[in-house]
């Protein structure tokens, strides 16, 4: 645990909080009795990371508008991004999980790694407050923040939306061009994107591709998407 604390850049006053943050729900399932796990800390940590990274981005991107800041934060806290950081620090080796979950690849599953990293953020907030949580975020996200500030993070709404959907479901996204108007040299297309029968976003553009990209971005900004993802995640046993 001392090694992990060094990697995290935080020494816990209450080591039990770190133990709890590392405890997967499968431990209780396998023992067939209720045991504390990291799901509540994950809930808190999600909000902690959203706030701390919002604060960092606000201060480091003084010229960026709300839309740019929102997209940047979404890239930093996506399941893929959090799992990548977790792998970089070897977090999977420290997870406490049931043998069945481990045998099924749980230590390297994106959702398990991302959820645990969020739980650790929540544990640090409870252990030492918001400033400690901010230092933790600065410490772990320094490379990703630098890449974002130097423009290495590409904006790819269709790819981001696809990743979110694939993390919880095999149901495909459906893009549809529902309208086109204007002369051939100045066409305007309107596209929609739907998932599991729910229309999530609408976009328009000078080409079909541009319209679909705008529809994907509208879906990412749509609060209905998060509700759909959470429902699908609960059905499949994973969380977005």
Q: Which domains are present in the chain?
A: 2-149 (1.10.1520.10), 157-236 (3.30.160.20)
46 catalytically annotated: yes
Instruction: Please give the residue that has the higher pLDDT: either 8 or 65.
Output: 8
pLDDT band at 237 (very low <50, low <70, confident <90, very high): low
Of the listed 42, 101, 115, 118, which one is catalytic? Answer: 118
Say if residue 229 is exposed, middle or buried (CB neighbours under 10 Å; 0-12, 13-18, 19+). buried
Of the listed 37, 42, 46, 115, which one is catalytic? Answer: 46
| Contacts with 195 (C-beta within 8 Å, 6 or more apart), sequence order | 165, 171, 172, 173, 174, 219, 228
Beta strands in the chain (DSSP E): 173-181, 188-195, 198-205
Distance between CA atoms of 25 and 39, rounded to whole angstroms?
A: 7
Mean pLDDT, residues 22-45 = 86
Mean pLDDT, residues 181-209 = 87
**Chain centroid, CA 65 distance in Å:** 21
Answer yes or no: pTM beyond 0.75: no
Q: Is the pLDDT of residue 139 over 50?
A: yes
Per the CB < 8 A criterion, the answer to whether 86 and 117 are in contact is: yes
The pLDDT, as a whole number, for residue 239 is 47
184 catalytically annotated: no
pLDDT band at 81 (very low <50, low <70, confident <90, very high): confident
């Amino acid at each position: 645990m001392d090694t992990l604390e060094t990697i995290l850049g935080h020494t816990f006053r209450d080591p039990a909080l770190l133990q709890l943050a590392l405890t997967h729900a499968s431990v209780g399932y396998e023992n067939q009795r209720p045991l504390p796990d990291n799901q509540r800390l994950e809930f808190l940590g999600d909000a902690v990371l959203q706030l701390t990274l919002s604060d960092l981005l606000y201060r480091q991107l003084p010229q960026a508008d709300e839309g740019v800041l929102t997209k940047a934060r979404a890239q930093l806290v996506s399941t893929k991004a959090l799992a990548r950081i977790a792998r970089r620090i070897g977090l999977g080796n420290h997870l406490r999980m049931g043998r069945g979950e481990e045998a099924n690849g749980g230590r390297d599953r994106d959702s398990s790694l991302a959820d645990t990293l969020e739980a650790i953020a929540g544990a640090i907030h409870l252990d030492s407050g918001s400033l400690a949580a901010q230092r933790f975020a600065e410490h772990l996200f320094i490379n990703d923040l630098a890449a974002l500030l130097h423009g290495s993070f590409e904006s790819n709404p269709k790819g981001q939306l696809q990743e979110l959907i694939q993390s919880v479901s095999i149901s495909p996204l459906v893009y549809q061009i529902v309208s086109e108007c204007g002369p051939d040299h100045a066409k305007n297309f309107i596209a929609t994107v739907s998932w599991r029968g729910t229309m999530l976003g609408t976009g328009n553009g000078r080409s079909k591709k541009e319209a679909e990209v705008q529809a994907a971005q509208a879906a990412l900004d749509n609060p209905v998407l998060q509700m759909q993802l959470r429902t699908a995640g609960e059905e499949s046993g994973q969380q977005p």
